[in-house]
Amino acid sequence: MNKKQKKVLVRILIAAALMITFSILPLKGMIKFALFMIPYLVIGYDILRKAGKGILNRQVFDENFLMAVATVGAIILGEYTEGVAVMLFYQIGELFQSYAVGKSRKNISELMDIRPDYANIEVDGSIQQIDPDEVEIGTIILVQTGEKIPIDGIITEGTSTLNTSALTGESLPKEVSAGDEVISGCINLTGVLKIRTTREFGESTVSKILELVENSSSRKSKSENFISKFARYYTPLVCYGALALAVLPPIFNMLIFKHPAEWNEWIYRALTFLVISCPCALVISIPLTFFAGIGGASREGILVKGSNYLETLAKTDCVVFDKTGTLTQGVFEVVGVHHNILDDERIVEYAALAECYSSHPISKSLQKAYGKPIDRSRIKDVQEISGNGVTAVVDGKNIAAGNGKLMKRLGIDYQECQHVGTVVHLAIDGTYAGHILIADQLKQHTKEAVHALHAAGMKNTVMLTGDAKNVAECVAEEIGISQVYSELLPADKVKKVEELLAQEGKKEKLAFVGDGINDAPVLSRADIGIAMGALGSDAAIEAADVVLMDDDPLKVVKAIRIARKCIRIVYENIYFAIGIKVLCLILGALGIANMWLAIFADVGVMVLAVLNAVRALAIKRK
Amino acid sequence: MKKTYKIEVDCANCANKMEEVANKTAGVKSATVNFMTLKMIVEFEEGQDVKAVMQEVLKQCKKIEDDCEIYF
């Protein structure tokens, strides 16, 4: 609690003690009035002062003014205890609200506490701490154990493990060594690292993320806009209602029914109205829910750019995926060696050596599978036959490595591969020696993610790819995605998404998930664009509405779950708060609810709504 | 031109009211108040004296909520 809140707490305690004491004592007349004025002023002086200023500024619907009218009215009617109590509970409510909001503000900003305070540089053999903003590109910075990496760069010296959880929500530490690219915001766990910076601080990942999160809730959701509009009309409406309630029934009583006017009774009922006239519960709990939802999501490595996107995400019933880099790893790897007459390793070795002069991605994946440095002295007479493959002499043996066309050209019988992917056939001294299958591999959680999306009630899941039809369909079947469109150029993807959008109902939303490379137009065209693996990719962060810090497709499901929970809480609060208020207004008008009930309802609803809102921060971990 | 200011305000409804009056102030194209992050994001109309506009915004905000503050 801060100083201001403590002061209010003390006032609440004093006023409550005095109020209880005085209401037990058998007091009468002016003495009772005078004594009750003490707790009333202790608890309400600032409200009265603000109410006075409100009148000067013609702010009639100011809540301080309304509280002042309600309590002063009650005191004039002789209901001293109630006058004090209303003020007291109003202050308790305000205190609770300010405490809860302050607390969640703090919690959430701690979650996003990834801003580095300094960077270490070495000057004449001693280490100096300087402002990260002052570090120029290409500077060598030193990161000690336990420190955050302040700026993106490449490791020049040292090995260590990094904790990336603040960025990705991923708890497994990452091993890094010299030559690896590292991003700012990771915590260096084990060794001292020297890093050559590749960006300025302002362009580094940390700065980008912070900027995104800090600006996130400026895009307000429909619910938030609805509530501010509601608040604008609700208070004046209730006030006019109160005025009518105070004046009309007594006049009717006198003129039409020839009854006594019962002014006191009706004014009392009208004052109850004023007590319920504050829309606080709603006005505070809805933004708080979104704030907590966005905060909770960012802890999981899911950055949502605005509360409106949480709303859209919750309504998503169709998820469109780009294939390469999103569902698959986007790197080609050797996945198998078939029909081979030698060991797998030998086959890969020959292929890698024969292809070693080629810069084709296939050749790269062969080298990677081989995993050892290439001894070029073993290779002679390399001939590249464009569109077919290569022939070379390796260790004195004639090696031919390439596609089916190459084998046909050399007149060698070969085996077709039954699997999907790129095939490299190998022949040694004119004899077929088997083939190597190279394919883009699915990500570890792809199948699980697609399954979970269907389980979460997605009507449709779609895969878009530039791959050949048979490859695409094979992958689609394996992961269980419901629709697939293949052989698409980047521009076709936008068209496909537009077609799919046209099929969506008014309240149904379409999400597109891509890796941010080449698909920025699609990301912005979809109802909601989700970019994954965004660490270090500025284009993706710019274009997307939701950014997944790592590249796990399961996060898409998680994001949708978080959004739905958040929206559910928002609706619960809207219905609950408005429902209770309307109920109290009706009961108050009928004379069933007194001021006590009204103030309890008002403060109670607010407390419950705020507690419910904070629930959005808690996210189930598996 | 868009600028972000830090603000100080205690109640959420007051924040909404601040947004309302800021939007009505001459020279302001649009204003958003974020109660949770205590920020006011103001987009100014072309060729406005930012300082003068903000002074007017603050004056209007003070009218509806005496306790508020905008740091500019």
Which one of B30, B36, B62 would you mutate to disrupt binding with A, by most A Cβ within 10 Å of its Cβ?
Answer: B36
- Residue A563 binned pLDDT confidence (cut-offs 50, 70, 90): very high
Alpha carbons A121 and A144: distance in angstroms, whole number: 11
Per the model's pLDDT, the better-predicted residue between A280 and A235 turns out to be A235
Please state the separation of Cα B72 from the chain's center in Å: 10
* Cβ-defined contact of A62 to B64 (cutoff 8 Å): yes
The pLDDT, as a whole number, for residue A331 is 74
Domain ranges in chain B are 2-71
Query: What ipTM does this complex have?
Result: 0.85
Which one of A8, A62, A290, A573 would you mutate to disrupt binding with B, by most B Cβ within 10 Å of its Cβ?
Answer: A62
Alpha carbons B45 and A60: distance in angstroms, whole number: 31
pLDDT in tens, A58-107: 777 778 888 888 899 999 988 888 889 999 999 998 898 888 888 888 87
For B:21-40, CB contacts with A below 8 A are 32, 34-39
Domains in chain A, CATH or no CATH each: 119-150+152-198 (2.70.150.10), 302-329+442-560 (3.40.50.1000), 333-439 (3.40.1110.10)
Alpha carbons A108 and B40: distance in angstroms, whole number: 19
Residue A128: strand pairing partners? A121
pLDDT in tens, A361-415: 778 788 888 888 888 888 888 888 877 888 899 888 899 998 888 888 888 888 8
* Cβ-defined contact of B35 to A287 (cutoff 8 Å): yes
- The DSSP letter of residue A115 is -
pLDDT in tens, A186-243: 888 888 899 999 988 888 878 877 777 666 656 788 888 888 888 888 888 888 999 9
pLDDT in tens, A452-461: 999 998 999 9
Using a 10 angstrom Cβ sphere, with 0-12 exposed, 13-18 middle and 19 or more buried, the burial of residue A247 is middle
Question: Minimum mean pLDDT among A335-339, A447-451, B23-27: which range?
Answer: A335-339
Contacts with B24 (C-beta within 8 Å, 6 or more apart), sequence order: B60
The pLDDT, as a whole number, for residue B28 is 92
Q: What are phi and psi of A105, to 5 degrees?
A: -60, -45
* Among candidates A98, A283, A290 on the partner chain, residue whose Cβ is nearest the Cβ of B10: A98
* Catalytic annotation present for A113: no
The structure tokens listed for A141 are 């910075």
* Cβ-defined contact of A214 to B39 (cutoff 8 Å): yes
The structure tokens listed for A147 are 């420190």
Kindly report the average pLDDT of chain A as a whole number.
85
Q: Does B10 touch chain A (CB under 8 A)?
A: yes
Q: Which residue intervals of A340-458 are DSSP H helices?
A: 344-354, 361-370, 404-409, 446-455
Contact A358, A392 (CB under 8 A): no
The pLDDT, as a whole number, for residue A622 is 46
Using a 10 angstrom Cβ sphere, with 0-12 exposed, 13-18 middle and 19 or more buried, the burial of residue A90 is buried
Nearest residue on chain B to A219, alpha-carbon basis: B32
A509-514 vs A174-176, strand pairing mode: unpaired
* Among candidates B10, B41, B64 on the partner chain, residue whose Cβ is nearest the Cβ of A218: B41
The pLDDT, as a whole number, for residue A319 is 94
* Cβ-defined contact of A59 to B16 (cutoff 8 Å): no
Using a 10 angstrom Cβ sphere, with 0-12 exposed, 13-18 middle and 19 or more buried, the burial of residue A381 is exposed
Please check the confidence at residue A514 and state whether its pLDDT lies above 90: no
* Over residues A25-43, mean pLDDT: 88
Contacts with A317 (C-beta within 8 Å, 6 or more apart), sequence order: A457, A458, A459, A460, A504, A508, A509, A510
Q: Which of A117, A152, A317, A322 is catalytic?
A: A322
The pLDDT, as a whole number, for residue A537 is 66
Set of chain B residues whose Cβ sits within 8 Å of the Cβ of A104: 36
Alpha carbons A162 and A569: distance in angstroms, whole number: 36
Alpha carbons A459 and A476: distance in angstroms, whole number: 16
The pLDDT, as a whole number, for residue A126 is 85
Query: May I ask the CATH class of domain B2-71?
Result: alpha beta
The pLDDT, as a whole number, for residue A620 is 63
Of the candidates A95, A81, A146, the one whose C-alpha atom is nearest the C-alpha of residue A116 is A146
